[in-house]
Amino acid sequence: MARYIFITGGVVSSLGKGLMAASLAALLQARGYKVRIRKFDPYLNVDPGTMSPYQHGEVYVTDDGAETDLDLGHYERFTGVSARQSDNVTSGRIYRDIIARERRGDYLGATVQVIPHVTDAIKEFALADVDDLDFILCEIGGTVGDIESLPFMEAIRQLRNELEPMQTLSVHVTLVPYIAAAGELKTKPTQHSVRELASLGIKPDILLCRSEHPLPEGERLKIAQFCNVRAEAVIQALDAPSIYSVPLQYHREGLDSEVLRGFGITDAREPDLSRWDDVTDRYFNPEGEVTIGVVGKYVGLQDAYKSLNEALVHGGMANRVKVNIRWIDAEVFEGNEADIVAELEPLHGILVPGGFGERGSEGKIASVRFARERNVPFFGICLGMQMACIEGARASGHASASSTEFGETNEPVVGIITEWMTQEGLQKREAGGDLGGTMRLGAYDAVLSPDSRVSSVYGGDTNISERHRHRYEVNVAYRDDLENQGLVFSGISPDGLLPEIVERPDHPWFIGVQFHPELKSKPFEPHPLFAGFVAAAVDQSRLV
Q: Looking at 154, 348, 518, 527, which residue is catalytic? A: 518
SS3 assignment, position 303? helix
Q: Looking at 251, 507, 516, 527, which residue is catalytic? A: 516
Q: What number of other Cβ atoms are within 10 A of residue 408's Cβ?
A: 7
518 belongs to the catalytic site: yes
- 138: β partners: 6, 38
Work out how close the CB of 517 gets to ligand GLN at its nearest, in angstroms, rounded to a whole number.
12
Q: What number of other Cβ atoms are within 10 A of residue 105's Cβ?
A: 8
Give CA torsion, residues 125, 127, 130, 135, to 10 deg. 110
Would you count residue 311 as binding ligand GLN (CB under 6 A)? no
Would you count residue 513 as binding ligand GLN (CB under 6 A)? no
- 168: β partners: 4
Q: Which is nearer to ligand GLN, 217 or 430 (CB)?
A: 430
Site for ligand GLN in 337-376 (CB under 6 A): 354-356
Work out how close the CB of 162 gets to ligand GLN at its nearest, in angstroms, rounded to a whole number.
41
Work out how close the CB of 436 gets to ligand GLN at its nearest, in angstroms, rounded to a whole number.
14
Number of residues near ligand GLN (by CB under 6 A): 10
516 belongs to the catalytic site: yes
Nearest to 511, CA basis, from 447, 452, 441: 452
Q: Which is nearer to ligand GLN, 250 or 515 (CB)?
A: 515
Q: How far is CA 64 from CA 68, 441, 444, 488, in A?
A: 11, 8, 10, 29
Work out how close the CB of 171 gets to ligand GLN at its nearest, in angstroms, rounded to a whole number.
34
Would you count residue 383 as binding ligand GLN (CB under 6 A)? yes
Q: How far apart are CA 266 and CA 279, in angstroms?
A: 29
Residues contacting 58, CB < 8 A, separation 6+: 70, 73, 303, 304, 305, 306, 307, 308
Binding mask 388-417 for ligand GLN (x = CB under 6 A): -----------------x------------
382 belongs to the catalytic site: yes
Q: Which is nearer to ligand GLN, 234 or 388 (CB)?
A: 388
Would you count residue 382 as binding ligand GLN (CB under 6 A)? yes
**Residue of 40, 379, 444, 472 that binds ligand GLN (CB under 6 A):** 472
Give CA torsion, residues 440, 88, 149, 193, to 10 deg. -130
- 121: β partners: none
Q: Which is nearer to ligand GLN, 42 or 517 (CB)?
A: 517
Q: Which is nearer to ligand GLN, 109 or 407 (CB)?
A: 407
Burial of 353 (0-12, 13-18, 19+ CB in 10 A): buried
Q: Which is nearer to ligand GLN, 74 or 364 (CB)?
A: 364
Work out how close the CB of 474 gets to ligand GLN at its nearest, in angstroms, rounded to a whole number.
9
Q: Looking at 56, 382, 473, 500, which residue is catalytic? A: 382
Q: Which is nearer to ligand GLN, 293 or 355 (CB)?
A: 355
- 402: β partners: 412
Work out how close the CB of 429 gets to ligand GLN at its nearest, in angstroms, rounded to a whole number.
11
Q: How far apart are CA 216 and CA 206, in angstroms?
A: 18
Work out how close the CB of 411 gets to ligand GLN at its nearest, in angstroms, rounded to a whole number.
17
Site for ligand GLN in 431-470 (CB under 6 A): 469-470
Burial of 145 (0-12, 13-18, 19+ CB in 10 A): middle
Site for ligand GLN in 68-107 (CB under 6 A): none
Q: What is the DSSP string of 135-180?
A: EEEEEEPS-TT-STTHHHHHHHHHHHHHS-TTSEEEEEEEE--EET
Closest residue to ligand GLN, judged by C-beta, is 354
Check the CA dihedral 161-163-167-170 and report its sign.
negative
Could you list the active site residues? Answer: 382, 516, 518
Residue ranges binding ligand GLN (CB under 6 A): 354-356, 382-383, 405, 469-472
